[in-house]
Chain A
Amino acid sequence: MTATTASDLSSVTSSDAALRAFLHGLPGVDQVGAEQRAAMLGTRSIKTTAKAWAIDLAIRMVDLTTLEGADTPGKVRALCAKARRPDPADPTCPPVAAICVYPAMVPVATEALAGSGIHTASVATAFPSGQAPLEIKLADTKAAVAAGADEIDMVINRGAFLAGRYLEVFEEIAAVKQACGPAHLKVILETGELSTYDNVRRASWIGMLAGGDFIKTSTGKVPVAATLPVTLVMLEAVRDFRDLTGRQVGVKPAGGIRTTKDAIKYLVLVNETAGDDWLDPDWFRFGASTLLNDLLMQRTKLTTGVYAGPDYFTLD
């Protein structure tokens, strides 16, 4: 870290120039080193009881997601039923963390999840492109919160970010945070469109400085979604941010995480980078849909001793 102190941080967002100076003053990411470290941590062997523990934790961290134009109330209700009891055959299987839907489906999800303790997350701010006027983004956010969402997944303005208008990105996030009220705010960086790890680090800091409760990798709508090295950079950012300010921010990789093996690699990365404070559904989430079935199949394999097949789990 640079020699920035917590008191300096209040001034870095005072002007575009100050914010740019701060963000460009962050230490650069060693690309080869980050990729090598992520790959190395991915080779850890997690077996038997540790694996069972990791699988249950990963299930509790899943934001079960459906973000399709073809979503219907029936499909969302079915997904909510799955969120409550992921494996109907096994009552010891924990529920997932949240359901993640489009704003129009929030009332359906809130009603179906009532009393379960499972959060309702809604994407907002002209997801997935974020290319809409600010008033529309704020209205989108307020509507989702009013409909019952207690977590909002917003997209940052990548157009402004890549053009170097960092303060605009910051102010937009801060305004959306304001519009969220009591709801948690997850800031989607869309790392697949940010080109470099340095940009990922800068965007992470903007998201945290602006008040985001979570920083999230991707919308899942562009070809390159969550990767281990990107998540590593983001985990380093939340770790440094807590060291500096005392405020803990969560991380949510989303998109492209489909297997239990992948999920466990992420958990190892969390433990080794940010520390075990983050090994909790309040501080680390997986944005996924197909991942859950693979976790359930692996869980079934561990409890029954025979390989499970997809015929015995729901098609989502």
Chain B
Amino acid sequence: MSDARVAVRKTYKLFIGGKFPRSESGRSYIAQDANVALASRKDVRDAVVAARAAVKGWSGATAYNRGQILYRVAEMLEGRRDQFIGLGLPTAEVDEAIDRWVWYAGWSDKISQVYGGANPVAGPYFNLSSPEPTGVVGLVTPPSFLGLVSVIAPAIVTGNTVVALAAHDAPLAAVTLAEVLATSDLPGGVVNILTGDPAETAPWLAAHMDVNAIDLAGVTDQTLATSLEEAAAGNLKRVIRPSASTPSWSDDPGLTRMTAFLETKTVWHPKGI
């Protein structure tokens, strides 16, 4: 008997509806020296069903409550900081990602003041515009952890639910983030994360009639980006195109990723009666 302990190795699985299933196809692949589930189109379908089911509860929660839950996610991220660093991520990037998450969490109860309000109208009415989430958002995420956080957080902070496709060659940070989300009071289905080959699964997500918007941040192949955008036109999804050059996720993110997935609802309310 040797004293050397055999380490327990982890199988990295998908994250759908708050659970960690294997791919329905049973496939897996090796990435970053680990066994990772290789999602199929049916996993995309299941993830969209889970995301759709979560829309009502998540978008109906108060902004304050969503903010609390997202802060909780940041607390959990902080607690698992070493685990992310252990995946080989630069310390600075992990810290920046946690800070980025907190920054977005703060926006949950502020975005409606900035992007909504009372409109002046010539009549005895109150006219109020308020931003509302668009629904289910598909995300093709970039390989960097900061980039991953920078596309997931802005989509969910306003009340959308997401199906995120992790980068093919760097899926471990995404699955580890899923483990954080699963222990953070985030309702199941708000974030669904699929590992595998986005070139295989993204076309199904882009064409899915029950997905309302898609963010192509992680697509580097311009031809694929164009074909995904064409598929997304089938039900007039909102699309964020990938930037032509490699994006620097450390830059000020601005508000565009949050506002891209909002619809404005305007109501007229008679006054003085």
Where the two chains meet, the residues of A that have a C-beta atom closer than 8 Å to any C-beta of B are 305-312
Contact = CB atoms under 8 A, between A and B. Distances in A.
B45 interface: yes
B80 interface: no
B97 interface: no
Nearest to B204: A307
Interface stretch (B11-19, B139-147, B205-213): B205-213
Contacts of A312: 209
Greatest chain B CB density within 10 A among A306, A307, A308 is at: A307
A306 B235 CA distance: 11
Contact of A309 (B44, B204, B231, B235): B235
Contacts of A306: 204, 207-209, 231, 234
A306 B209 CA distance: 7
A122 to B, nearest CB: 35
B225 to A, nearest CB: 18
A171 B236 CA distance: 61
A308 B208 CA distance: 6
A308 B210 contact: yes
A305 B44 CA distance: 14
Contact of A311 (B45, B207, B209, B231): B209
Contacts of A309: 208-211, 235
Chain B binding surface SS class:
helix
26 contacts: A305-B207, A306-B204, A306-B207, A306-B208, A306-B209, A306-B231, A306-B234, A307-B44, A307-B45, A307-B48, A307-B204, A307-B207, A307-B208, A307-B209, A307-B210, A308-B210, A309-B208, A309-B209, A309-B210, A309-B211, A309-B235, A310-B210, A311-B209, A311-B210, A311-B235, A312-B209
> Which 5 residue pairs are nearest across A and B when measured between Cβ atoms?
A309-B210, A309-B209, A306-B207, A307-B208, A308-B209
A38 to B, nearest CB: 22
Interface string B203-224: 0100111110000000000000
Interface in B137-180: none
A291 B265 CA distance: 33
A309 B234 CA distance: 12
Contacts of B210: 307-311
A81 to B, nearest CB: 22
Interface of B: 44-45, 48, 204, 207-211, 231, 234-235
Nearest to A300: B209
Contacts of B208: 306-307, 309
A310 B210 CA distance: 7
Contacts of A310: 210
B102 to A, nearest CB: 34
A71 to B, nearest CB: 25
A311 B210 CA distance: 7
Contacts of B211: 309
Contacts of B209: 306-309, 311-312
Contacts of B44: 307
A164 B210 CA distance: 52
Nearest to B209: A309
B31 to A, nearest CB: 26
B165 to A, nearest CB: 15
A305 B204 CA distance: 9
Greatest chain A CB density within 10 A among B44, B208, B234 is at: B208
Contacts of B207: 305-307
A304 to B, nearest CB: 9
Contacts of A308: 209-210
B28 to A, nearest CB: 21
Nearest to A305: B207
A266 to B, nearest CB: 21
A312 B236 CA distance: 13
Nearest to B135: A311
A311 B211 CA distance: 10
Contacts of A311: 209-210, 235
Contacts of B235: 309, 311
A307 B209 CA distance: 6
A278 to B, nearest CB: 30
B39 to A, nearest CB: 14
A299 to B, nearest CB: 13
Greatest chain A CB density within 10 A among B207, B209, B210, B231 is at: B209
A310 B55 CA distance: 14
Nearest to B45: A307
A305 B209 CA distance: 11
Nearest to B205: A307
A308 B235 CA distance: 10
B107 to A, nearest CB: 28
B244 to A, nearest CB: 28
Given A307-B44, A308-B209, A309-B235, 13 more contacts: A305-B207, A306-B209, A306-B234, A307-B45, A307-B207, A307-B208, A307-B210, A309-B208, A309-B209, A309-B210, A310-B210, A311-B209, A311-B210
A79 B193 CA distance: 39
A305 B203 CA distance: 11
